[in-house]
Amino acid sequence: MMKAFRRHARRERAASLVEVPVPVPGKNQVLLKVSHCGICGSDLHAWLNHPGYESVLPEVTFGHELSGSVVSTGPDAGDWKEGDRAVMIALQASHDPNDRYCAEGLPQLSPRRRVQGLHLDGGMAEYVCVEQEFLLPIPDGLDLQLAALTEPLSVAEHCIANRSSVGPGDRVVVSGPGIIGMFCALSARSRGAEVILTGTEQDETTRLSAARTIGFETLLVGHGHPPLHEQITAYFPDGADALVEASGSAHALADSWQSVRPDGVVTAVALYSRTIDFDLTQFLRKQIDLRTSYASSRPDYLRAFDLLSQGAVDLAALTRTYPLAEAGQAFADSENLQVMKALLACSD
Ligand SMILES: [Zn+2]
């Protein structure tokens, strides 16, 4: 038997630590002993049974941001062998050359995609079975705890490298200092951009102070503060080359055109809980390229490995690690913005 943090009903906060059988790897599958598993914003939404998460199974073990070591393999599980270290690709669409999104290297957009940890059992457990094509070997020298951040960092890499046209010397605003915003800022900085992170009063204690610890300029926006576009002129007099909206605030996206220079880029990487009323003509008159960025694919994970291996991510400043037994507390702390990124240590 093993411990797993499992949802047991389609209700708010209906998840707990339970004892379940250790899964047995089937054809194409690998059994991993989970080292660490992160709590993602989507895990929080699923845990809180928010609208938009109806597809999450009523009974499922959460967790898609995991690292671990191979314990055993089923038939046809490729070259994987005991002791190999791996991370899991979270959004999974088995390769099909007739699927145009596979052919274009964007399997995360395939209508066949699923998320392990929402649509089948995930990694907030001592062990997890993963189909071998969705595993990536962790580079030598990168530790398992840090490697558990590969998935969220890959989402930022996709946003910055593929969807935001950020290059050396660019002036970038990242709106929203959650972990995806923070990782987008790190990814942009690694490309030689000058980056400013923005957040609200409620972000100040944990998130914006963490951003300053790792060397970012921060600005406060929202009630009682001047609008972002007024504050930004002190740093970027002509406006930002790119603005990445990672907060999920409808206002922040609607007003973004004011802080971006003509012919600049706005990329939305957050999920918005309501429809957004915005004045497209204002974007048009500045010919701002308004884009979205969703999830990530294999090459983004590989670049995330590189960033982690280079020491770009300060684990102590950005994460707090909880034993798997305290998963409920880790979810509550994440909900209350007490922690940037909660990691569960699953095999102590
Ligand atoms: Zn995630």
CA 126/CA 123 separation, integer angstroms: 8
| Closest C-alpha among 332, 238, 246 to residue 294 | 246
Query: What's the pLDDT tens digit per position in 258-308?
Result: 999 999 999 999 988 889 999 999 999 999 999 999 999 999 999 999 999
Query: What's the pLDDT tens digit per position in 174-200?
Result: 999 999 999 999 999 999 999 999 999
pLDDT band per the 50, 70, 90 thresholds, residue 124 = very high
- Rounded distance from Cα 41 to ligand 1 centre (Å): 6
Query: What's the pLDDT tens digit per position in 42-52?
Result: 999 999 999 88
How high is the pLDDT of residue 114?
92
Query: What's the pLDDT tens digit per position in 193-245?
Result: 999 999 999 999 999 999 999 999 999 999 999 999 999 999 999 999 999 99
CA 193/CA 177 separation, integer angstroms: 17
Instruction: Tell me which fold the domain 156-292 belongs to.
Output: Rossmann fold (3.40.50)
- Rounded distance from Cα 227 to ligand 1 centre (Å): 30
- Rounded distance from Cα 161 to ligand 1 centre (Å): 18
Share of the chain above pLDDT 70, in %: 100
- Rounded distance from Cα 239 to ligand 1 centre (Å): 31
- Rounded distance from Cα 319 to ligand 1 centre (Å): 14
User: What superfamily would CATH give domain 2-149+313-345?
Assistant: Medium-chain alcohol dehydrogenases, catalytic domain (3.90.180.10)
How high is the pLDDT of residue 272?
87
Phi-psi region of 121 (alpha: psi -120 to 50; beta: other; left: phi over 0): beta
- Rounded distance from Cα 39 to ligand 1 centre (Å): 7
Domain with CATH 3.40.50.720 in the chain: 156-292
- Rounded distance from Cα 296 to ligand 1 centre (Å): 10
* Average predicted confidence (pLDDT) for the chain: 96
Domain with CATH 3.90.180.10 in the chain: 2-149+313-345
CA 56/CA 61 separation, integer angstroms: 10
pTM given for the model: 0.96
- Rounded distance from Cα 133 to ligand 1 centre (Å): 19
- Rounded distance from Cα 64 to ligand 1 centre (Å): 6
